[in-house]
Amino acid sequence: MKLLDDGLVAVVKRDCPTCELVVPVLRSIDRSAPPLEVYVQDDPHYDEGLRNVVDDHELETSYLLDVETVPTLIRVRGGAEVSRIVGWNRDEWRNLTGIADLGDALPATRPGCGSKTRDPGMPARLKVRYGETGLGSRLIELPGDVDPEEACFDRGWTDGLPVVPPTQERVLDMLTGTARSPGEIVAVIPPNLVPCSVEKVAINAVMAGCKPEYMPVVLAVIETACRAEFGLHGVLATTNAVAPAVMINGPIARAIGMNAKGNVFGQGNRANATIGRTLQLVVRNVGGGRPGEIDRAVFGSPAKYTFCFAEDEEDQRWESYAVSLGYSPQQSTVTIFPGDGNTPVIDHTARTPEELCRSFAGCLRAVYNPGHVVQLQAFLAVGGEHQQVFYQAGWSKARVKEELLKLLLVPMSEVVPGRAGTDGLEEWQVAAKDGFVPKFATGPLNIIRAGGSAGKYSAIISGIGGNKTIRPVTGEIKL
């Protein structure tokens, strides 16, 4: 960009009524206070009566001058800007130009319009073209005739579904969703224990299909999932089917339009789908965790594409999972826990909490194996109509849990030996052959609310872990 040494620079677009309004004013300046350069963003034939009209439809000058509003009038001295005004304000324009009767026939003020440099998607495009992106990742050049989606498949960057190609423009847009700097390290990603920057998260978030507004959630998901207590390496490497399940609590879930209601664990909601998918893509691409390599799952699960949802907090009668941990309802949190997918619990006939708890307990008892009592945990998602049964009887969530734990005592004689077996149980429990042990002997049983309002269903999200390893972890989402 080479501006004139001394004089005035105007940036306008024909599409702006205020820019049309000031045409006679610009002609006056051109006659009585030259030199004047007029940069036009959309139509180089803006006004044939002006002597120095410059076509700026590529927006290079507008971008480098950081023009936000048109018209912008800039006073330049010695090749550098000394002052600028935006929109039409008769007094300001007279001051800046030194022409006392400038714009006599015009109204006193008129606001300007948005500069084309601020059109949606444009700031990132212009930054890539004319500015410094500040990004540190390797640039991969593809010939113009190569399909970028196919190129992503070829490089092994996808989970088997197409990804959005991570162009610099898209990644810069994604980074507008966070105040954190691109180079900041978010977490150390297993299995290769690679420090992962905000920028790498943003690249994978683009690929997963996220919107920039999801970034605070995505960053908290990555950070929380990589905390030692969760054991992401184990969740990834195990022969079990388990995936890292992601649950969001608090106002941000509603702000970004997450689904906590009908089809809560299913397809169709962009935030649910893409936030969970980003975690998996980060593990794959940054951490190097791929099926058949470190990931030794026998079956795996569709949950390993993405498993992310919001807890239903609409009704205040039960406190949310996050509130039960001590967070306030105004805080937003992410909870990561091991989830195999979900197992439905169907009970259309129970009308009392006791009956319903018996159904829940029967299904929970069967998780993994009716005799399996260690190294497992579960989140029980109580559906809308089942919630009503408890509300009508005045049962709190704690009371439901207490009842379930009572019903979930497994006779020692039925505890299966072998995998898991009695490992993790106290010696006295094993010794007491006629005794009972809790089904969830080493891992937690949690109750949450989710799902549609019609239909008498609940769902069990089971998962490995418990004892010393693989625990649910919760972290706050900071905006």
Partner 1 sequence: MNSVQILLDPTAETAAVSQPRIARVPSLEGRTVGLLDIAKPRADEFIDRLDELLRARGLAVKRYRKRAFMERAAPELKQKIRAECDVVIEALAD
The set of residues, in sequence order, having a beta carbon less than 8 Å from that of 84 and lying 6+ positions away, is 72, 73, 74, 75
Determine the Cα–Cα distance for residues 153 and 290; give it in Å rounded to an integer: 14
Smallest gap from Cβ 146 to partner 1, in A, equals: 7
Q: Which amino acid is at 226?
A: C
Does 132 bind partner 1 (CB under 8 A)? Our answer is no
Does 204 bind partner 1 (CB under 8 A)? Our answer is yes
Does 234 bind partner 1 (CB under 8 A)? Our answer is yes
Site string for partner 1, 2-21 (x = CB under 8 A): --------------------
Which one-letter DSSP state was computed for residue 50? -
Angle formed by the axes of helices 384-393 and 353-365, nearest 10°: 130
Does 168 bind partner 1 (CB under 8 A)? Our answer is yes
How many residues make contact with partner 1 (CB under 8 A)?
46
Smallest gap from Cβ 434 to partner 1, in A, equals: 24
Stretch that binds partner 1, among 242-250, 269-277, 439-447, 463-471 (CB under 8 A): 463-471
Diameter over CA atoms, the chain: 105
Determine the Cα–Cα distance for residues 61 and 55; give it in Å rounded to an integer: 10
Please select the residue that binds partner 1; options are 52, 369, 388, 469, rule is CB under 8 A: 469
Please select the residue that binds partner 1; options are 167, 343, 359, 388, rule is CB under 8 A: 167
Residue 17 in 3-state DSSP?
Answer: helix
Smallest gap from Cβ 107 to partner 1, in A, equals: 45
Does 192 bind partner 1 (CB under 8 A)? Our answer is yes
Site string for partner 1, 356-395 (x = CB under 8 A): ----------------------------------------
Does 256 bind partner 1 (CB under 8 A)? Our answer is no
Stretch that binds partner 1, among 115-123, 198-206, 259-267, 400-408 (CB under 8 A): 198-206
Stretch that binds partner 1, among 200-208, 215-223, 362-370, 389-397 (CB under 8 A): 200-208
Beta strands in 234-314 (DSSP E): 243-249, 308-310
Q: Residue 272: CA atoms inside 13 Å, Cβ hemisphere, count?
A: 21
Does 446 bind partner 1 (CB under 8 A)? Our answer is no
The set of residues, in sequence order, having a beta carbon less than 8 Å from that of 111 and lying 6+ positions away, is 18, 69, 87, 88
Residue closest to 383 by CA, chosen among 474, 259, 244, 262: 262
Smallest gap from Cβ 186 to partner 1, in A, equals: 13
Number of Cβ atoms within 10 Å of the Cβ of 298: 8
Stretch that binds partner 1, among 91-99, 148-156, 257-265, 386-394 (CB under 8 A): 148-156
CB 53 within 8 A of CB 38: yes
Residue closest to 115 by CA, chosen among 76, 51, 61: 61
Number of Cβ atoms within 10 Å of the Cβ of 357: 24
Please select the residue that binds partner 1; options are 1, 54, 140, 454, rule is CB under 8 A: 140
Smallest gap from Cβ 339 to partner 1, in A, equals: 16
Question: Which residues, numbered 406-435, are part of the site for partner 1 (CB under 8 A)?
Answer: 418-421, 423
Determine the Cα–Cα distance for residues 100 and 93; give it in Å rounded to an integer: 9
Please select the residue that binds partner 1; options are 142, 179, 185, 479, rule is CB under 8 A: 142
Determine the Cα–Cα distance for residues 177 and 197; give it in Å rounded to an integer: 15
Residue closest to 199 by CA, chosen among 285, 308, 309, 288: 285
Question: Closer to partner 1 at the Cβ: 138 or 433?
Answer: 138
Does 470 bind partner 1 (CB under 8 A)? Our answer is yes
Residue 449 in 3-state DSSP?
Answer: strand
Stretch that binds partner 1, among 51-59, 73-81, 319-327, 465-473 (CB under 8 A): 465-473
Does 292 bind partner 1 (CB under 8 A)? Our answer is no
Determine the Cα–Cα distance for residues 181 and 301; give it in Å rounded to an integer: 35
Number of Cβ atoms within 10 Å of the Cβ of 303: 22
Pairing of the two strands 376-382 and 457-464: antiparallel
H/E segment holding residue 356: helix 353-365
Question: Closer to partner 1 at the Cβ: 241 or 322?
Answer: 241
Does 471 bind partner 1 (CB under 8 A)? Our answer is no
Residue closest to 213 by CA, chosen among 164, 165, 176, 169: 176
Please select the residue that binds partner 1; options are 141, 330, 427, 433, rule is CB under 8 A: 141
Smallest gap from Cβ 279 to partner 1, in A, equals: 13
Smallest gap from Cβ 327 to partner 1, in A, equals: 27
Does 200 bind partner 1 (CB under 8 A)? Our answer is yes
Residues interacting with partner 1, by CB under 8 A?
135, 137-146, 148, 151-152, 157, 165-168, 171, 189, 192, 194, 196, 200, 203-204, 207, 228, 231, 233-234, 281, 285-288, 418-421, 423, 467-470
